[in-house]
Each structure stands twice: as C-alpha cells, then as structure tokens.
Chains A and B, each alone.
Chain A
C-alpha cells in the first residue's frame, strides 16, 4: 500500500488519540460486575491491553502514554476519578508506567507472532499468552517493585497484594484476545 507519509502520520496520530480516549472513557464509567468474580471490574486496563493488541507496539504504547500524561497533568481520567501528580508518585504509580510497556509488549507479540499464526486455536492461544505476558506480566513487573520501593514493604508481600487483581486481569486478558482476534478478522491491515 502506498500512501503519502503525512497522510499515514496523521492517521497514526488519530488512531492513538481515539484509543487513548477509549481507555479514558472505560475508566469514567461505572465498573461491570460479574457473578463469577467478587471484585467489580473496571475496564480501563482492558483498554490498555486492546490498544496494544489492535494498534501494534508503537501506536499502542503511545495511546497508553497519552492517557498517563493527561491523567498526571490533572485530568481525572483514572478509574475512581483519580488524576494529578500524586497518582504517579504514590504507591501504585508503577502500574501506570507499566501500562505503556504492557501495551508495547502486547503490540509487538501480536504483530510479529499472533497474527502470523494460522488456525483459530493456535491464534487464540498465542493471543492469550501475549496478553498475559504484556498485560499482566509486564504491568505487574513495573507495579510490584514500585509499590515495594515506595512503601518499604518487601517484594513478596507486594506480590501477594497484587494477586487480588489477578482473577479480574486474567478475565480481561481472555476478553482482549477474543475481541482483538474478532476485530482483526474484519479490519485487516490494522497493523500494516
């Protein structure tokens, strides 16, 4: 496909902005409650995972970065209406930074691995693995040590504390994979 560069650059920027707005919108609305999981699920990290899985590494990471920048600058975009410099400096700031790297890793895995799989089962399993690695592994990898450093609580306890969010995050990983593969089927060339 040959497009003039400024046109595709504009398109990239618009995609980044729309997905950033989607991540923000997902945090503004009341969370969905499900029978199987006791904690209500906010869809915000679902948006972070989807940005990577649908837009690819670079644009996905930029979408997350835009949300983080706007929230830190003061917009109350994070779930529960949080925002401002304190969200980054506080004990859970690492998870926020993790969003950026999480969507980067999910995007890279989707672009170079998942979308090259053939066969529905192989694709789903690769997709699920990618979202778990990026959306849970990478985000926790940034968040858990950050909490540990910021509070002085040892690493193990911090890790145990984050486990409370694991069921919800696993659920979101499954949803992300299903949604991303469905959308990629009807919107081909989203990452090319």
Chain B
C-alpha cells in the first residue's frame, strides 16, 4: 500500500539506477498503467507517459487505525441473551479471563465471524459441528453480532452481522453503519480486502496450525500486508504480456514447421513443381529469410519452371501452317523455272554471246563475206548483224532473268535454311524431363532441321512436304501441354502459396513480437528483482521484531531463532526458520514443543499487527497461553504489553497465569472476567487481583439479602482466608521470581499450601517452621493481626458470628501489609 502511485515509485528507481532510458523501462511504466495500456504499447501503440519529475522517496502512509469499543454477541456459540464486552477503544492490553466454556471465546469468535463471516477454528475443519453449533441452543432470539468501532479521525462506526435464515450460518450478512446511520455492505468497503491482508485475529487453533501448514503457507501469511501488491501486479502483467508475445513467436515457429512439412509432402507428390522443395528449405532454416519466402509466394512466374512453361506455351515451329503447305509447290515451280531458264540462257552459259559480240566487232572493222569461224560462205552482212544484235539482246535478257531467278532460288533456299534451327532450349529441357509431347516435338524438330545441307529445290520441296506437318503438329501438342501444365501447376501451388503468404505476414508481426518479448522479459526481471529488494527491506523490521519477540517469549529456552529467510520463487516460495538448539542448527518444527510452536507463531505474526499500513488498530488473540510453561507466560506478557503500546490487544485466556504475570511484572493492562451461568447467561465483571477479588466477594456476600441468616458468617471467613493466602502468595512469588528463582521451583513451593505454611514461608523462609510465628505476626502494624488470622482460619470451617464487615476491613489491611513484607 503506497501513497505514491506505483509508476512514480518504479520510475524513481529506474532513474536512481540510471536505467530510465533503457528500452525496457517504457514497458515497466506501461504495465503500471494497466493491462490495456501495456497490451496497446506492446502492439506498437502509444508509449506510456513518463512521470516528469522524480518524486521523493516513496513513503508508506500510516492508515488511521480502527479500535474496538465493544463486542456484542447474541444467540451465538456459548452466549444466549445478548451480552456485551465493552473495551477501551485505543492502544493497550485487555485480558479477558474465563474458564473453558465460560463464553469468552464466543466473544473472540463473535468478533471474527462478524468481520469475516467465518471462524478459522472451524473453517479448516469444515465440520458439521460448526454448522450445527454456531447458534446458541438456549436463545429464543435470532443470532446477531454487533461490533462497535472507533476509527481514529472518523468517529464511531458499527459493524453488524445478522442472518437471513437463522438456521443457516452461510446466510449471514454484514453491514457497516456509519455515524450518519448510512448502511454499507461490509463487502463493498475497503476492509473486505484488508481483512485478508492484515487479519487481526489469532486463535489457539491457528497458532498451532500455522507452522504445521508448511513453509509456503507461512510465507503467504507473513508476507501479506507488506504492501507489495502493486509491484506484484505490475510484474504479473509483464509476465503475462511476455507470455502473449512469446506465444505469437511460438505459433509462428510452429506454423513454419507445419508449412515446411507440407511443402516437403507436396514436393513428393508434385516432383514437377520445384518451388515446393525450395520453399521447404527456406522454411526449415533457423533464421528464416522472410523476404525470400515472401518473394516466392507473391510473384507467380519468375522462377525457372514458370519461365520454361511460359516459353513452351508460346512455342512456335520454324514454319507456319500456310507456308508449309505453299512452300513445296513454290519450290517446285521455282525449280521448273530454273530449268527453263537454264535452257534459255544456255548460250550465255556457253560463251556464245561473247563470240557473237566479238564477230560483230570483227565485222565492224571489216565486213566479212564468209564466217571466219566455220569458214562457211554465208556473209556476215548487215542482215546478219541486225539478227545477231537482236539475238544478243534476247540473250542478255535471258541471262538477266536467269540471274534474277538464281538470286530468287538462293534467297528461297536461304530463307528455308534459316528455318532449319535446332529445337529451343525449353523444349529440349522438357524433353529431357520426360515430357512426352516435348520428346516427340524434339524428334520432329530435329528431323525438320536435318536438311541444312540440301540445295536442291525439288529435294527441299520434298523435305518440307515430308517433315513440316509433323513439326507443326508436335509443336502444337507441346504448346497445349504447356498451357495445361501451367494451369495445373497454379491449382497445386496457389493455395499453398496463399498459406505461406499469410504466414509471412504473421511471421513479420511475430518477429517484431520477439523483440518486444525480450524487452518485456527484461522489464519483468527488473520488477521481480525490485520486489525482492523491496520485500527484504520491508520484511527486515518485521523479521527483527519477530526474532526479538521469540527471544523474549522463549526466555529460558535453549532454542534460539537466528534468522527468518524468504526463499524460493513462484509456488515454491517458503519461509525458513533458522533455529539453533544449544548453538547447533536444528529443524524448527522438530525441536519445538507445542507451547513453543504457539510462541513461535505469535512471534511471527504479532509484528504484522504493528505494520503502519494495517487499518486495524486492534488484534484479538484467543487462548495464547495453552501449553506454555510459566517462563513463556512471562515473556508472552512482555511481548503483548509491547504490542499493546501501539495497538489494542484483546487477549482471551482461561489461564490465570497471564493476568498474574502482567500484575507481577507491572505491565499496563486491563482485565475482565467472563462467567457463564445456567442457560448461557454470560456475565462480565472486572478482573482484579485475587486477594482483592476475594475481599470484594466477601463484602458482596454480606450485602446479599437473599442469603438466610448465619450463612454469610460461614462464607466470609473462608473468603478472607483465601484473600490472606493470595496476598502471601503474591509477596512470595514476586520476591522469589525477582531474585531469579526458576518458575518451576516457585510454583512447586507454592502448590497446595495453606495459610499457616504460607505465613511461615513469608516470615521464616520455611513452610514448616511455625514456631515463633505468632510473636512475629504480633509485630505487624495491622491491629489484632493474629486474631484476624485465627478468626478466618476457624471461621472457614465452623463459621463466624462476629462483625463480618470488621473482619473484611481488618483482612484488607492485613493483606496490604503482607503483600509488602519482604520475605525471609
């Protein structure tokens, strides 16, 4: 419980450690703002506000304490008609003494049940006895518990618990009624939670059971109320957020594994799809390349296989259908023309035109009347010349036409040869991969291209006619195959690619989450370490006080409490008590007696009552003395008195040793006595010292008119004698204990002593030395002390007929004197 907000406290620490600018610090601050702020920030949202100026050291504020003014119990447990136990609302010890069954524990339990709705004594047992026995059997009215409270600085408040169904303990409802008479259910007040943290009730059964419940339970009980809840909440939020981020990463990692396996399986089923093994390998890497994986699944056709298929869908044979059909005829026509031209241009071919031109040149020089070549007599005249020139022109034309035709043939052959190309690489690859149509296409293609050496037009025409149809048909088949294959591949790959694409986007988030997770972990560890430091710091005074309390209560014990260690983490947190027996280490529970276990539990839990943060100014301790020996009772009284200096301590006990110890040790306290009559009529009266009580009883007897005559005279001397015995006992006990005699010896010496023996002890130091006692008594200041004693002694057996008031007065004077006698 801190007065300063937790973010300011933690920010101050971050600043003090020079870590306020560390990246994890923002997560600490976000967690301080709550789960929503932390989740938003972890998801990349707005950063938390940093406290601007460091505050002063966080200080825990003391809460104004609430005290008990009275416990009113009706028809509950041992109490029938309503009975009220009034208490002084403020620090101090009040002892409520009553024998077992007197109803005192009904007040203790009543207060506990009023506040908590249940009783630790019974809750653990889950017993049907409690379900049946919580109501008082004698009561005619429904049960009700009322606690009057005084809250410092606020005023009076009233806590009231009633039961809707007076037969069902679970139907109880508690409400707080404040000064303005406003009613609030207890569960809606701050106290509801604080009752858990600062439980102001300790009963005998809890005392005994707490240590036995185990070190983890002790840890929880001891550490509750140290006000670390805010710290723990921040740490838990960070841990939970770390887990969330870690889960994102884990899920992504596991999904990658699943996708990788899927890809491998698909690769087995579809060996033709090389992207499966590729993406599997990428997914299987420890450090996954999200960009590479993303590129594979987001672009559909830039891989080799896609390129190949795309090439094959566009596969074209080196000759098209129309051309392949026209070409053989064209070639043959060309061949025919070539042949014809050759005939026509034969002269040219055989040098005739040159001869004729030279003959013309000869005739030009000198007309020839006969042929100079063959010697015939046909003159080479003008007619010859004209005819020859015409013939030469024709020959030149034919030669030109022939040249042109040759050129055309060459061009045709060149063009055709250019179509005799090897099969394209994608086709060869597909054939090599065993694609049937591709293989056939390659064979057709190769047959087609085998004609590169052919020059003959007729042969070429035959070749084209023979091979072009197969080439065209096979190529078309490959194209159809490639188109189908592309479509089929998309059907196999696309759904998987989509899955991987989705994973890639998640993995990018998870990768970012991993960084956030690391920071959250760092933040969590830092807060956890801070908690450890803070817990140690806050527990230190509790521990020191617990050790001191134990060593006070267990004054003469050889068991020393050396240290209380907080160890372990998570569910294994424990408190370990470092105990030595005669300076040797020992297991705490093993060496402690039941009385010591109770003392240890009280030592451990009383310091919590003193915590500043508790709103309860009171603590109710029921039956702490059981099983304790006298020395412990003295120590317990001292410890209770110490707590009583700061808190209202109400102790219920059946054991008169506790009030006696308070009295003898002069420790401040108030006392009440609880007595129970028939029909659960419970009466509370002030508890005074035993001799004063007997004398008060004696006076009351003389003032009771209902007693028949002579009866008071038979009772009063007995009471007076008891008062004298009590006064002697007081004097002797105080003296012996103060000089250091062991408790055990003192109690043994005082056991079963009559008045004469006690007087002999007091004046002679020997219970059996009665000689000279009367002369010694005559020296007392109280007038007629010997006669008073004798009247009491005899009257206790036979009655006394003298003045009873005077007897009581003289006895009182004698008691006062005896109490202050310094024993021999």
Q: Do these two chains really belong together in a complex?
A: no
Mark B residues whose CB is within 8 Å of A: none
Mark A residues whose CB is within 8 Å of B: none
